Structure 1
Amino acid sequence: MLSDGVGYLNIKSWSNHNKTEGGNIAELVEKELNNFKDSDSLIIDVRQNGGGNSSLAENLASHFIEKQTQYCKIFKKVSKQDELVEQTVNISPKGEFLDKKIVILTGPKCLSSNEMFVLMLKDTGKAITVGQTTGGGSGNPKAFNLHLGGKDFILTVSTWRMMRNNGQELEGVGIEPDIPVEIKRDDVIQKRDIELEKAIEYLKHG
């Protein structure tokens, strides 16, 4: 918990393979949410999160959703069809509803299912984002092992196109922050987390 009733949750992966403090990501997130029940606002830091299981991301986001809401569309190839098939992607409420003012800290290392998490709250009007543009890599890639010229390679290929509610492509573009923050050399030298400072400032003063 930060000052003045501001909660802070740092999630570095949406994978249960990354176990810390004796528990997996899903268990730890639910445990931390209980600690923030009395807070008025919450900062969710996913700047170092490269993705994982989108279901885990949805489990957290669903606590802040009051009704089923669309947060993006995907276009994917279906066998024996020439055109891409459009699919609407929704998020529905699950578990205890938490009515809080939310800020998500984002950056270029935000990728894959983590970008989906950002959309679940940002593009449904439940959160604002602070920091830098996300990486723009959420094509649900499929990996292929190749052996060429005596060397082994892994080729990853996108299996869908994702489009935001505003019609903007995600792949190669990313999600721009509502409040962009420029990190200066002096901030790095002084070890200031200027993005976190901006998030706290927004929550305190709007």
Structure 2
Amino acid sequence: MPTLTSLQPAPVIDELARLLAAHYVFPELGQELADLVRDRLADGAYDVATAEELGRVVTADLQSRNGDPHLRLKYHADPVPEEQGSAVLAAMRRDFAASLGGVPRLELLDGGVAVLELTPNLFPLEWAAEPLGAALAVVSRARALILDLRRNRGGSPDTVAFVCGHLLDERTLLNTMHWREGDRREQSWSPAYVPGPRFGGEKPVYVLTGPRTFSAAEELAYDLQQLGRAVVVGETTGGGAHPREGWTLHPHLEATIPVGRSVNPVSGTNWEGTGVVPDLPCAADDALALAHERALASLEPSAQVPAGT
């Protein structure tokens, strides 16, 4: 990484171009974008006063070809650690501590319908397994489950698989990652075993989404939807299906570059650019009420119980 104490666009753009050509999930487009930012540098488009402005202008250029929302020159107000990906992990650590491990809300509604909110991230499984497993064990007794992902920004595919394991009865293929490096393929399966009781694969599940639902949170909604395991309620999600890595290019600038793409075994594609389209579209703010209404309607009247019993 260039050692920079003030804004010098040229070394930032030179390193960004190198990383795009070497790592972007689509090699031809990566080279095209590398050429684009070099040309824009030569034209003076990046002669700006602040790192924040440089990040904004370069990100607009990076997303001008295919709208990839994971592809950014991201500005951080606090200094970015030099270790690859460490800026994201540091921020996630703070969020994890402030959100009860990513499960800030668990509530039982009328009719024995549980609401489990997962936000702001699906944290790395080595952090999240204990709080998330405990919450999923509690809701396993509910007659229907509403997963609220409306404010979830993404996270770990391993944690997606962990959640799915509690909502399915057997080990199931969820997704295949196609990595650029080595042209590798990596399958993601729900686990055959989960700690504690499962909610299982039969009782109703509803997933709440909105425009802030992104990345791994979208994968959780999409996987369950494609398997026919959950009804998605709310608004179309952000449309980011490409896992990314981060490189520090300046004390306040991080290049985030997608390095792979996901392929769902049912649809044969993913939610990149389109987002996850709800089965029951409505305003995100109205999604909980609608999901609760549909959950109650799906239960046998004799099975419904009041909240708190």
TM over 0.5, shorter chain: yes
Give, in angstroms, the shift of residue 85 of structure 1: 4.7
Residue of structure 2 equivalent to 1:180: 281
Task: Determine which structure has more spread, i.e. the larger CA radius of gyration.
Answer: 2
C-alpha contact (below 8 Å) 1:106/1:132 kept by paired residues: yes
3-state SS of 1:144 partner: strand
Deviates more, 1:33-42 or 1:136-145: 33-42
TM-score of the superposed pair, with normalisation by structure 1: 0.78
3-state SS of 2:175 partner: strand
Q: Paired residues, what number?
A: 184
Residues 123, 94 of structure 1: alpha-carbon distance in 2 compared, 3 angstrom cutoff: farther
**What whole-Å deviation, never above 9, does each CA across 1:46-69 have from its counterpart, x for those lacking one?**
111111222223222201122232
Match among 226, 249, 256 for residue 156 of structure 1: 256
C-alpha contact (below 8 Å) 2:263/2:269 kept by paired residues: yes
Residue of structure 2 equivalent to 1:186: none
Residue of structure 2 equivalent to 1:15: 123
Higher strand share: 1
Residue of structure 2 equivalent to 1:125: 228
In percent, how many aligned pairs have the same letter?
Answer: 26
C-alpha contact (below 8 Å) 1:64/1:93 kept by paired residues: no
1:44 corresponds to 2:144:
no
**What whole-Å deviation, never above 9, does each CA across 1:141-181 have from its counterpart, x for those lacking one?**
1112224xxx8421111111223321333222211111110
Deviates more, 1:170-179 or 1:115-124: 115-124
Structure 2 alignment gaps of length 5 or more: 1-107, 299-309
3-state SS of 1:4 partner: coil
Distance, in Å, in 1 between the alignment partners of 2:276 and 2:286 is 19
Give, in angstroms, the shift of residue 203 of structure 1: 0.8
TM-score of the superposed pair, with normalisation by structure 2: 0.54
Residue of structure 1 equivalent to 2:72: none
- After superposition, residues 29-178 of structure 1 pair within 5 angstroms as 29-79=132-182, 84-95=183-194, 96-99=197-200, 100-147=203-250, 152-164=252-264, 165-178=266-279
Give, in angstroms, the shift of residue 6 of structure 1: 0.3
Residues 90, 56 of structure 1: alpha-carbon distance in 2 compared, 3 angstrom cutoff: closer
Distance, in Å, in 2 between the alignment partners of 1:139 and 1:37 is 31
C-alpha contact (below 8 Å) 2:122/2:159 kept by paired residues: yes
Residue of structure 1 equivalent to 2:109: 2
Distance, in Å, in 2 between the alignment partners of 1:50 and 1:26 is 18
C-alpha contact (below 8 Å) 1:5/1:41 kept by paired residues: yes
Task: Give the AA of the match of 1:60.
Answer: V
C-alpha contact (below 8 Å) 1:76/1:160 kept by paired residues: yes
Distance, in Å, in 2 between the alignment partners of 1:85 and 1:33 is 33
Higher helix share: 2
Distance, in Å, in 1 between the alignment partners of 2:186 and 2:159 is 21
Residues 126, 202 of structure 1: alpha-carbon distance in 2 compared, 3 angstrom cutoff: same
**What whole-Å deviation, never above 9, does each CA across 1:106-138 have from its counterpart, x for those lacking one?**
112122222222233222221111011111113
